[in-house]
Amino acid sequence: MTTADLECLELSKRFGDFTAVDQVSFSVPSGTFFSILGPSGCGKTTIMRMVAGFLDPSSGDIQIKGKSVLDVAPNKRPVNMVFQHLALFPMMNIADNIGYGLRRQGLAKSEIARKVDEALDRIGLPGIGKRKVEELSGGQKQRVAIARCMVLEPDVLLLDEPLGALDLKLREHMKIELKSLQAAFDTTFVYITHDQSEALVMSDQIAVMNKGRFEQVGSGRDLYYRPQTAFVAGFVGESNRWRGKVTRSDAGGALQLTTEAGLVVTGADNGRGLAVGAEAQIFVRPEAIRISRKQDELAHFENRMVGKVQSLLFNGAASRAILRSEANGDDIEVTLPQSGEFADLTRGDDLHFGWSGEQANAFAVEAD
Amino acid sequence: MRAGAKLGLILLLMPLLLWLGLLIIVPHIDMFLVSIRERIGVGRYQISPANYLTFFTEPLYLVTFMRTALMSILTTAITLVIGFPVAFYIAKVAKGRLQSSLFLLCLVPFWVSELVRTFGWMILLRETGIFSSFLQWLGLVDGPVEMLYNDVAMIVGLVYTSMLFMVVPLVTTMESLDDSVIEAGYDLGGSNLSILREIVIPHAMPGIASGSIVVFMLSLGNYLTPTMLGGKDSLWFTELIYSQFIVRFNWELGAAFGFMLLILSSIIVWAMLKVTGQTLEKTMT
């Protein structure tokens, strides 16, 4: 196996009594798009700043291409960073912005000009070198900020929520563009974000971070379909969740949970070994729930309920309905199939709905 | 309604217009008229450039004039060199309470009058003053040392007097520089020096220009500090104006001197703006 471009070993950072990053280890293989996804304040920016060299870790090691960079000052590290607000130099024009790092390396003027032009071609903005920073649109600035780093051919490019300041349409567009830029430059990207769709769309590998620790590292698909912790199940994607006590547990991993309201839900613990009597949480994705007008269509599901349509949330292909269960009044979110079958669904309609026990993921409730 | 709004606007502008008109425009017109007349007999005057000719033909006046300008430029440069790191520290390094208390410390000396502050320097620097006694106590010198009444003492006084007017605009402009822009500079391989030269100074340029203009004007027009701290050889142009008006009672020549000072300061400020590539408009915001 080749050495990873970036490797963090038991990295920790403490600010006084507060542990921002707690024993985090990960490695990013060469040429991959690695994302760190987590809510604000989870410590992801702290990791980023440690890798860039603006913060010293309290303990642990950071290696780039197999060499520790702890003693290397930020301006000497083979790592570059695209800042949250891009931090383009407003006092310089675009070409000078992109050429800044090259000038610092002491390259000849003609060489710098050539590389800058090449970078501008690559980001699809040829001939804007003489323009001022404030004359560019949000998306163009974004690309210039990436080009400014990429001309230096860093081993790792760090991106600190660079899409946060853009409007929705542009953000969607930039997601695709970032991914293709990464492929074009063939460089390792480490991207941090609190927006799960950014992480899911662009990344090869995603680390979900919470309270200074990595909850799970895996592909987007892994995180979505096989979450290993309750936090990941709740944070990535939408879920209906119930909390209660385990009332039955089979050797095969199937179990039954009874909520305080008396609802019985069948689920699977996927090898987490929940014993009878344990406090547990069950997560069910809205798209895992089937709806039907006839009861017998759902006969093969372990979980079956009857409910009334409480409200319809139209959102194109991702339209949902909120159903109020007749048994105990719980509100359950369900994805509407787009086959046209339920196009005439209105508020107050009665529906049968159900889901298989395998689709209901159960986790032990951690003591807070 | 419209007429009412117009009246309101005029009333609102009135204090400004009165202030400009009565205290600045009218006196200057009068001064100019005084400066271009020559007394040819008792109570008899005629228009002539004689006063300006006197200014240009008398070496003392010209030398003092140039000296004042150069010393003021020197004062401005020294104030900038001292004020820049101070302002950078206050704006970018110090955080929270330390930041506001440092800013306050810059302000505190200005709660006492300039006269008292200048006396403070006299107490420190005079022959029987604190520095002199301290040096004697250390055994570094045999007898009392006189540190007052020379150009160095005068420049020290001027720099001290103008420091706040340099630090405030610099702190304001530097605070508006995003920390991440400086970090980006380091991230892209910049050294301290290159970041200072290519990022911090260009960003602070409007502050540098406005601080320098204010400090230069204050030094050029200062009367008290050069008179009290400067020696016999450090004659300041304002002292010449004073002596023409008050001692010699030659208002005509004094007025001409006043106008020359106005022209000089305008030219130097204009040149400074041209050299630094700033506009007055940008500097004042």
Q: Is residue A1 part of a domain?
A: no
Q: Which of A:128-157 have CB within 8 Å of B?
A: 148-149, 152
Between residues B218 and A185, the one the model is more confident about = B218
- Is residue B258 within 8 A of residue B52, CB to CB? The reply is no
Q: Is residue B5 part of a domain?
A: no
- pLDDT category at A179 given cuts 50, 70, 90 is confident
- pLDDT category at A1 given cuts 50, 70, 90 is very low
Phi–psi pair at A53, nearest 5 degrees: 105, 5
Between residues A32 and A365, the one the model is more confident about = A32
Q: What is the pLDDT at residue B55?
A: 85
Query: B188–A85: do the CB atoms touch at under 8 Å?
Result: no
Q: Is residue A255 part of a domain?
A: yes
Q: Is residue A154 part of a domain?
A: yes
Same domain, A223 and A265: no
Which residue of B lies nearest to A90 if distances are taken between CA atoms?
B203
Q: Is residue B279 part of a domain?
A: yes
Per-residue model confidence as pLDDT tens digits over A123-140: 888 888 888 988 888 888
The average confidence (pLDDT) of chain A is 86
Query: B185–A90: do the CB atoms touch at under 8 Å?
Result: no
Query: Which chain B residues are within 8 Å of A101, Cβ to Cβ?
Result: 188-190
- Is residue A363 within 8 A of residue A281, CB to CB? The reply is yes
Q: Is A165 on the interface with B (CB under 8 A)?
A: no
Q: Is residue B29 part of a domain?
A: no
Q: What is the pLDDT at residue A2?
A: 58
- Is residue B135 within 8 A of residue B141, CB to CB? The reply is yes
Q: Tell me the torsion sign for CA atoms A233, A237, A239, A241.
A: positive
Same domain, A218 and A152: yes
Residues forming a β-bridge with A18 = A15
What is the distance between the alpha carbons of residues A27 and A45, in angstroms, rounded to a whole number? Answer: 17
- Is residue A255 within 8 A of residue A362, CB to CB? The reply is yes
Q: Which are the contacts of B11, defined by CB distance < 8 A and separation ≥ 6?
A: none
List chain B pLDDT tens, one digit each, 285 residues.
577 788 888 888 888 989 888 888 898 898 888 888 888 877 788 888 888 888 888 888 889 889 999 999 999 999 999 999 999 999 988 888 999 899 888 888 888 888 888 888 888 888 888 888 888 888 888 888 888 888 888 999 999 988 989 999 999 999 999 888 998 999 888 888 989 988 999 999 889 988 999 999 999 988 888 888 887 777 888 888 888 888 888 888 889 989 888 898 899 888 888 887 777 777 665
Domain that holds residue A191: 6-232
Same domain, A112 and A213: yes
- Is residue A67 within 8 A of residue A5, CB to CB? The reply is no
Q: Is residue B1 part of a domain?
A: no
Query: B188–A152: do the CB atoms touch at under 8 Å?
Result: yes
Same domain, A211 and A82: yes
Q: What is the pLDDT at residue A269?
A: 77
Helix (H, G, I), strand (E, B) or coil at A18: strand
Q: What is the pLDDT at residue B285?
A: 59
Query: Which chain B residues are within 8 Å of A90, Cβ to Cβ?
Result: 181, 203
Closest CA to A265 of A305, A297, A235: A305
> Could you write out the three-class secondary structure of B116-184?
HHHHHHHHHHCCCCHHHHHHHHHCCCCCCCCCCCCHHHHHHHHHHHHHHHHHHHHHHHHHCCCHHHHHH
Per-residue model confidence as pLDDT tens digits over A313-347: 888 888 888 888 887 778 888 888 887 778 888 88
> In chain A, how many domains are there?
2
- Is residue A104 within 8 A of residue B194, CB to CB? The reply is yes
Q: Is the pLDDT of residue A288 over 50?
A: yes
- Is residue A285 within 8 A of residue A238, CB to CB? The reply is yes
> What percentage of chain A carries pLDDT values higher than 70?
98
Q: Which of B:55-74 have CB within 8 Å of A?
A: none
Q: Is residue A17 part of a domain?
A: yes
Same domain, A175 and A264: no
> In chain B, how many domains are there?
1
Per-residue model confidence as pLDDT tens digits over B243-276: 888 888 888 888 998 988 889 889 988 888 888 7
Per-residue model confidence as pLDDT tens digits over B179-199: 889 989 998 888 889 899 889
Picking from A232, A263, A283, the residue at the C-terminal end of a domain is A232
Query: A80–B190: do the CB atoms touch at under 8 Å?
Result: no
Q: What is the pLDDT at residue A36?
A: 92
Q: What is the pLDDT at residue A257?
A: 83
Closest CA to B64 of B237, B181, B218: B237
Q: Is residue A296 part of a domain?
A: no
Query: Which chain A residues are within 8 Å of B207, Cβ to Cβ?
Result: none
Selected for mutation to probe chain B from A83, A96, A105 (highest B CB count within 10 Å) is A83
Domain that holds residue B66: 47-284
Q: Is A106 on the interface with B (CB under 8 A)?
A: no
Cβ-Cβ pairs closer than 8 A, A with B, add up to 67
What is the distance between the alpha carbons of residues A5 and A200, in angstroms, rounded to a whole number? Answer: 21
Same domain, A254 and A205: no
Closest CA to A192 of A47, A8, A36: A36
Query: A87–B202: do the CB atoms touch at under 8 Å?
Result: no
Q: Is residue B28 part of a domain?
A: no
Q: Is residue B19 part of a domain?
A: no
Picking from A232, A261, A277, the residue at the C-terminal end of a domain is A232
Query: Which chain A residues are within 8 Å of B190, Cβ to Cβ?
Result: 75, 100-101, 104
When CB atoms are compared, the residue of B178, B181, B190 closest to A75 is: B190
Picking from A211, A232, A253, the residue at the C-terminal end of a domain is A232
Tokens linked to A40: 């604000």
Q: Is residue A297 part of a domain?
A: no
Q: Is residue B38 part of a domain?
A: no
Same domain, A137 and A183: yes
Cα of first residue to Cα of last residue in chain A, in angstroms, is 40
Selected for mutation to probe chain A from B174, B188, B195, B198 (highest A CB count within 10 Å) is B188
What is the distance between the alpha carbons of residues B48 and A227, in angstroms, rounded to a whole number? Answer: 96
Query: Which chain B residues are within 8 Å of A100, Cβ to Cβ?
Result: 185, 188, 190, 198
Q: What is the pLDDT at residue A175?
A: 87
Phi–psi pair at B29, nearest 5 degrees: -60, -45
Query: A80–B188: do the CB atoms touch at under 8 Å?
Result: yes
Same domain, A137 and A11: yes
Q: Is residue A277 part of a domain?
A: yes
Q: Is residue B178 part of a domain?
A: yes
Q: Is A89 on the interface with B (CB under 8 A)?
A: yes
What is the distance between the alpha carbons of residues A290 and A254, in angstroms, rounded to a whole number? Answer: 20
- Is residue A63 within 8 A of residue A70, CB to CB? The reply is no
Same domain, A242 and A141: no
What is the distance between the alpha carbons of residues B17 and B20, in angstroms, rounded to a whole number? Answer: 5
CB atoms within 10 A of CB A65: 16
Helix (H, G, I), strand (E, B) or coil at A248: strand
Query: B184–A83: do the CB atoms touch at under 8 Å?
Result: yes
- Is residue B210 within 8 A of residue B171, CB to CB? The reply is no
Selected for mutation to probe chain A from B187, B195, B276 (highest A CB count within 10 Å) is B187
Same domain, A24 and A123: yes
Q: Is residue A298 part of a domain?
A: no
Query: Which chain A residues are within 8 Å of B178, Cβ to Cβ?
Result: 85, 87
Between residues A33 and B143, the one the model is more confident about = A33
Q: Please list the helix, strand and coil fractions of chain A in percent, rounded to the nearest 5, in that order.
A: 25, 35, 40
- The minimum CA-CA distance between B216 and chain A, rounded to whole Å, is 26
Same domain, A109 and A219: yes
User: The domain that contains A247 carries what CATH number?
Assistant: 2.40.50.140
